[in-house]
Each structure stands twice: as C-alpha cells, then as structure tokens.
Chain A
Amino acid sequence: QVLLVQSGAEVTKPGASVKVSCKASGYGFTTYDLNWVRQATGQGLEWMGRMNPENGNTAFAEKFQGRLNMTRNTSVNTVYMELSSLTSEDTAIYYCARGSGSYEFWGQGTLVTVSS
C-alpha cells in the first residue's frame, strides 16, 4: 500500500533551519509530485510547495520564496523539505502529500516547534 513516512518532531531556535524528510513506498517514487503542506495550531492548511521527484523541478508558494528548499534522494525514495530563518510563526505540523492536483495520500505529519 502507499505510505508516506515522515521524520520525527523537531525543536529548533529562531533563526535556525529545519529539515524534514518524507519517505515514500508502495508506488513508483518518480510517478507523482510530492507536496508540503503545513498547519499551525488551530489554523487551516497552507500549501508550501511541491517537487517533481523525477526531474527535481520545484514550485514554491510566494510566501516562502527564498527560505524554502526541497530536495530528493531517489535511491531511498525520499523527499526533503528545508525551511530556513525560522520564527515562532513557523511552529506548525508539516505534512507531505502525494499528487499534482489532489492529494489522496498524506504523511503522518511532523511537528516543528520554534522556540528560544
């Protein structure tokens, strides 16, 4: 079955960076885009960006331009999301989700806490 398994919770300080991984299994890794969506406590879903694992092409929401990066390692079927210059407003659950239009499969979420 399709599984997206994310790395564990992170606690980090303002100004630092965080890198979260999303390991895919149960399907052809390069067949579908992988997206990152975040959700602050009590808030809605926010699309951050997406990557085509086949060619590495990315698209980022304007809000995150300049401090968001996505990479992949096709040998281990994993996509990475790195967010830099963190502030307390980046404290949220970060999800990876598979798809180009709709997202049928989601990771379990990774809580990132930014605190001094």
Chain B
Amino acid sequence: SYVLTQPPSVSVAPGETASLTCGGNNIGDKSVHWYQQKPGQAPVLVIYYNTDRPSGIPERFSGSNSGNTATLTLSRVEAGDEADYYCQVSDSFSDHRVFGGGTKLTVL
C-alpha cells in the first residue's frame, strides 16, 4: 500500500514561514490534500488538489506538489495555526485513500 511520510513535529516562531512536507513515491503524480486538526475537533480541509484553498482558508496557506514531495506552506504563522497537519492523497486509478502520519506544528 502507498505510504506517506511526514515529520512528527515542526516548530516556528510567530511571523515566520513553516514548511510541512509529505513524502511519497512519485507523489507528484497524485492529488494531495491537507487537513488541520486542533485538539478535540474534527479535521478541517485547508488545501485540496495540491494548491487550491477552500473558502474561508487564509491566503497564508499554500500548497505545492512535485517529484516525491508535497509541501504545505504557512506564511506569517500565527499562534492560532498551532495544530496537527495531515496530508492525504487521492488518484483516479485507485479507490483507496491514505493519510500521512501527521505533523504537529508548534508556534514558539
């Protein structure tokens, strides 16, 4: 089965930029989606199909996907961005979906 690898934790100072990675074999050929999850809450979709933002998600959230790595970039990080972030892939050749293990973003 397809494996997605995320670093367990990333720390960033307020106002700086955080880059959260999601590694997978030829992940650039797939569609990557990103979720933010705060304690006690259901996940929230923040990026879909590699680069698109749902309505209500700040422009500070952006995504990219190429080769073996997809990246979620949070610019001008705020304290409220502290959460767990999960990547997930989909492709038209498979009925199955998979999540990465998640990255805990800490705002220092």
Contact = CB atoms under 8 A, between A and B. Distances in A.
Interface of A: 35, 37, 44-47, 50, 59, 61-62, 95, 97, 100-104, 106-109
Contacts of A35: 97
B90 A102 contact: yes
Contacts of A95: 42-43
Given A44-B101, A45-B86, 14 more contacts: A35-B97, A45-B37, A45-B88, A47-B88, A47-B96, A47-B98, A59-B95, A101-B49, A103-B33, A103-B35, A103-B43, A107-B42, A108-B42, A109-B42
A100 B37 CA distance: 20
A44 B43 contact: no
Contact of B43 (A45, A46, A59, A62): A45
B6 to A, nearest CB: 9
B2 to A, nearest CB: 11
Contacts, number: 58
Interface in B60-100: 84, 86, 88, 90, 95-100
Given A59-B95, A59-B96, A61-B96, A102 B45 contact: yes
A44 B95 CA distance: 21
Interface of B: 1, 31, 33, 35, 37, 42-43, 45, 48-49, 54, 84, 86, 88, 90, 95-102
A61 B100 CA distance: 15
Contact of A46 (B49, B96, B99): B99
Contacts of B48: 101-102, 104
A101 B33 contact: yes
Nearest to B6: A44
